[in-house]
Structure 1
Amino acid sequence: MSDSEKILNAWGAYSDEHTDLDGWPYDDHAYGLRASQRDADTAEAFESLRYGTRHLLATAETQLGRLPEHAVQSRWVYQLGVLHAALDRLDQLHEQWLETRDALPATAKPGTTAFDDALAEYHAESWSYLDDWATHGKTLREINTAASTAPSPPAPALAADRRSLARR
């Protein structure tokens, strides 16, 4: 199980236990703190992947284009689109965070209210896009598995040789 799945499962268990049947938290403050921790944990889990995501998406798209039609899941194109859109938004939010962080007073360091509140806001704004990656990211693995198990099409020269042999 991936880190993001563990985080989401832990959040689901917490939320189920700490909300009423209509989904309202018993303690808004405690629930908000736990949601903030979920957001931070999800962001941290994504960081190790962040800088390779564009390459992963490009590889999956190339592999998808080379797969025989019968090996393609119809949802994959949609899911790759969700991942692209989420990554674009995450990049924008990251740039905004860097600008916000740089605009903080020199005294605003990690552990201070000003810094921690700004970081928590960044994590909260990023969470739904990180959740998209947690939910649809396995598509990249599915496409790679399909590509690695699909029979390779014959090389163009080999295909031409086979056609000329067949005509003889």
Structure 2
Amino acid sequence: MRDSKKILDAWDAYSDEHTDLDGWPHDDHAYGLRAGQRDADTAEAFELLRYGARHLLATAETQLAQLPENTVQSRWVYQLGVLHTALDRLDALHEQWLTTRDALPFTAKPGTADFDDALAEHHAESWSYLDDWATHGNVVREINSAARKAPSPLAPTPARTPVRRSAARK
């Protein structure tokens, strides 16, 4: 998630420098190439997380349900929902990519226009959902941190010591 955030920050800096005040690129071709690189880099960064993402979300939801109410940030439920939706879309787009890849001509290999164009389109379609993970993914860490700091529901509550009154007071 950190790599994705760095990629997004680098993109924002590039975009700010290479667009006019209305947001139009100075050079459409160069801007499009850089956007394609952003999409590919973000997809690559997410691959490290993809296969464990559902487990991370399930763990965060379990932890969130067990946290004392006064330690819960109201945005966490919303952010977990965004991550779930994004992951569902990414999974569907990945299946779509596999179908597209399998339908490419036999000669379409990485480095050929047929393959690279189809992959670039897949990355472009996936980018906004990957951006959701870059933007909201830190919620998993925040919930885990809160859960680690929260008192365990299994720990016994310390017994209260009765207050003793002094003998001088009668």
Q: Please tell me whether Structure 1 or Structure 2 has the larger radius of gyration of its CA atoms.
A: 2
Q: Which aligned pairs between 1:8-157 and structure 2 lie closer than 5 A?
A: 8-154=8-154
Shift of 1:2: 1.3
Shift of 1:5: 1.3
- CA distance in structure 2 between the aligned counterparts of 1:137 and 1:67, rounded to whole angstroms: 19
Identity %: 82
Q: How many residues align?
A: 158
- CA distance in structure 2 between the aligned counterparts of 1:154 and 1:26, rounded to whole angstroms: 61
* Corresponding letter in the other structure for 2:147: A
- Structure 1: 5+ residue runs without aligned partners? 163-168
Can you list the C-alpha shifts for 1:127-151, whole angstroms capped at 9, x where unaligned?
0000000000000000000000001
Instruction: Please give the TM-score of this superposition, normalised by the length of structure 2.
Output: 0.90
Q: Does 1:4 align with 2:4?
A: yes
Stretches (4+) displaced over 4 A: none
- Structure 2: 5+ residue runs without aligned partners? 160-170
Can you list the C-alpha shifts for 1:15-62, whole angstroms capped at 9, x where unaligned?
011000000000001000000000000000000000000000000000
Shift of 1:154: 3.8
Can you list the C-alpha shifts for 1:54-104, whole angstroms capped at 9, x where unaligned?
000000000000000001000000000000000000000000000000000
SS, match of residue 153 in structure 1 = coil
Shift of 1:153: 1.8
* Corresponding letter in the other structure for 2:53: T
* Corresponding letter in the other structure for 2:21: L
- CA distance in structure 1 between the aligned counterparts of 2:146 and 2:84, rounded to whole angstroms: 20
SS, match of residue 151 in structure 1 = coil
* Corresponding letter in the other structure for 2:138: K
* Corresponding letter in the other structure for 1:66: Q
* Corresponding letter in the other structure for 2:99: E
- CA distance in structure 2 between the aligned counterparts of 1:143 and 1:10, rounded to whole angstroms: 27
